[in-house]
Each structure stands twice: as structure tokens, then as C-alpha cells.
């Protein structure tokens, strides 16, 4: 069998062809590699874009959550205000009254009535001898069997007293001597006994209220810390609204 033999020219041509084929394969591989790199770069770009979009969405979600929280806080605040306007709310200004009736003296607050009929109680001398005449007081928040009231004495003496309906005894819990003014019990705000330092020449009428942000004649006595004495009372907004509504109702009922 004869072996194929190539002339030098043929061998040289075959070498060139082989080289060209190799170069073509190399170029094809390089092109393929470049395409892969470009696809990887594009994939990286897409990944980065996706991450940026995710971050943007996370920020939007966070903002929405924050807005929801703030909205809930506002709604909670509204609900709290409505709750604070309930009858037993510490944000209200509670006040009761001693009342002279045909059957004797009673104390009334928030629908609760207690028969007093204690002729030794100083309140009798402060009440006109007229049926349905009244004098302000409040139940002691520390003891429901005690009633707190204020009395004006001689020579500018003013006292805050607590009356025990069971023992029928009064106890002075605070006193102060003031020239040309009296300590009028105005109400109870939680544990704060609200006092109006009213000038003795001040006769404002049945529907007047000294409650305002700038009124310096309102004070309070903290029943949990009586020794701290009187401090200026700045009424909460709900108290101001409550007192204003009561004053308007008073005007309608009186005039």
C-alpha cells in the first residue's frame, strides 16, 4: 500500500490552512468568551438594578409603615381624647356639691348622693337657708368616704378640709393666709385639687370660669404631696374644652 506523499508546496499550504483554521477557532472562542463576559456584565447590571429597586421598595415600604404608625397614633390620640372625656376620666375636672334639701343636707357628685345631716359641719353656716342652695366639694380620690371642701375664715385665713362621713369629723389638710383673696375649690383633676385664688371683690356671675392658659389665679394642691403646697395649674386642653362647654350650657340654662 502506497503512502500519500505531499510536495513541499502542498505541505506548506496545508500548514497555512491548519494555522488559519486554528486561528479561526481561537477567534471563535475569543468572540464566545467576549459574549459571555458581556452577558455576565449585563447580568451584573441587572442584579445591581434589581438591588437598587429592592432598596427603593424597602424605603417605600418603610415610609408606608411609618405613615401607618403616625396615622394610628393620630387615631389613637383621637380615641384617647374621646376616652378622656368619659365621666371618670382623670383629664376631666370633677366637682360635686353640698346641697340643702327638704330632708336635710346631702352631698352629690357624678350621680352619687350621700346623706350628711350633721349640724356640726361648718358648711351649714355657709349655705343660705334656702332649699336647693349648694356649696362646692369633691370626693377625696384617696378615700370615697371623705369629702374635701374649702372655707374662708377671718383675717384672710383660708382652709382646705376633709370631712369623713362615717366618723362625722373634719380635718384641716391645708391652710394659707391671703390678703384680699379667697381659696375657692374649683374641682379635682386626677389627684390635683384645683383652687381658684379669687379676689374678694371679684363677683363674676354664675357661669364665669377662670380656666385659661394664661390665667395665673388657678392653683392646685397635689393630694398625694400636700406638703408641697399650692402650685400654678395649667389646665389640659380637654379640661378647657369641658369647662367652656359647661359654661355655654350654664348660659343657656340661666338666661
User: Strand 230-232 vs strand 134-140: parallel, antiparallel, or unpaired?
Assistant: unpaired
Residue 161: the pLDDT is: 95
Q: Is the pLDDT of residue 128 over 50?
A: yes
Confidence of residue 85 (pLDDT cuts 50, 70, 90): very low
Confidence of residue 225 (pLDDT cuts 50, 70, 90): very high
**Tell me: the pLDDT tens digits for 44-73?**
555 566 566 556 655 655 665 565 555 545
3-state helix, strand and coil shares in percent for the chain, rounded to the nearest 5: 40, 30, 30
Mean pLDDT score of the chain: 75
Confidence of residue 98 (pLDDT cuts 50, 70, 90): very high
Residue 145: the pLDDT is: 92
- The arithmetic mean of pLDDT across residues 126-141, rounded, is 89
Q: What does the block give as the cell for 115?
A: 346623706
**Tell me: the pLDDT tens digits for 155-194?**
678 899 999 999 999 999 999 988 888 888 989 988 999 9
Has this prediction a pTM greater than 0.75?
A: no
> Angle at CA 183, nearest 5°, toward 180 and 184?
120
Residue 87: the pLDDT is: 41
Number of neighbours of residue 90 by Cβ within 10 angstroms = 13
Percent of the chain with pLDDT over 90: 26
Q: Is the pLDDT of residue 7 over 70?
A: no
The DSSP code sequence of 42-82 is HHHHHHHHHHHHHHHHHHHHHHHHHHHHHHHHHHHHHHHHH
User: Grid cell 432598596 — which residue?
Assistant: 55
DSSP 129: S
More reliable by pLDDT, 248 or 34: 248
Residue 171: the pLDDT is: 93
More reliable by pLDDT, 84 or 101: 101
Residue 8: the pLDDT is: 61
Q: Is the pLDDT of residue 82 over 50?
A: no
Q: Is the pLDDT of residue 141 over 80?
A: yes
Amino acid at each position: 500500500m502506497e503512502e500519500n506523499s505531499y510536495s513541499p508546496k502542498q505541505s506548506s499550504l496545508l500548514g497555512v490552512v491548519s494555522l488559519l483554521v486554528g486561528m479561526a477557532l481561537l477567534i471563535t472562542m475569543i468572540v464566545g468568551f467576549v459574549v459571555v463576559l458581556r452577558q455576565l456584565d449585563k447580568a451584573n447590571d441587572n442584579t445591581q438594578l434589581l438591588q437598587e429597586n429592592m432598596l427603593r421598595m424597602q424605603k417605600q415600604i418603610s415610609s408606608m409603615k411609618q405613615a401607618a404608625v403616625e396615622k394610628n397614633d393620630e387615631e389613637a390620640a383621637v380615641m384617647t381624647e374621646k376616652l378622656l372625656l368619659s365621666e371618670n376620666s382623670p383629664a376631666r375636672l370633677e366637682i360635686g356639691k353640698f346641697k340643702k334639701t327638704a330632708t336635710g343636707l346631702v352631698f352629690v357628685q357624678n350621680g352619687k348622693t350621700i346623706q350628711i345631716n350633721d349640724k356640726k359641719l361648718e358648711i351649714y353656716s355657709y349655705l343660705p337657708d334656702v332649699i336647693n342652695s349648694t356649696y362646692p366639694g369633691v370626693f377625696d380620690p384617696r378615700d370615697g368616704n371623705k369629702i374635701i371642701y374649702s372655707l374662708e375664715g377671718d383675717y384672710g385665713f383660708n382652709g382646705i378640709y376633709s370631712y369623713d362621713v362615717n366618723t362625722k369629723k373634719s380635718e384641716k389638710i391645708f391652710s394659707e393666709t391671703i390678703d384680699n383673696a379667697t381659696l375657692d375649690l374649683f374641682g379635682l383633676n386626677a389627684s390635683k385639687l384645683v383652687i381658684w385664688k379669687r379676689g374678694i371683690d371679684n363677683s363674676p356671675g354664675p357661669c364665669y370660669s377662670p380656666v385659661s392658659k394664661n390665667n395665673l389665679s388657678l392653683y392646685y394642691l397635689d393630694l398625694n404631696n400636700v406638703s408641697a403646697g399650692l402650685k400654678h395649674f395649667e389646665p389640659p386642653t380637654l379640661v378647657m374644652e369641658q369647662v367652656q362647654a359647661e359654661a355655654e350650657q350654664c348660659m343657656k340654662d340661666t338666661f
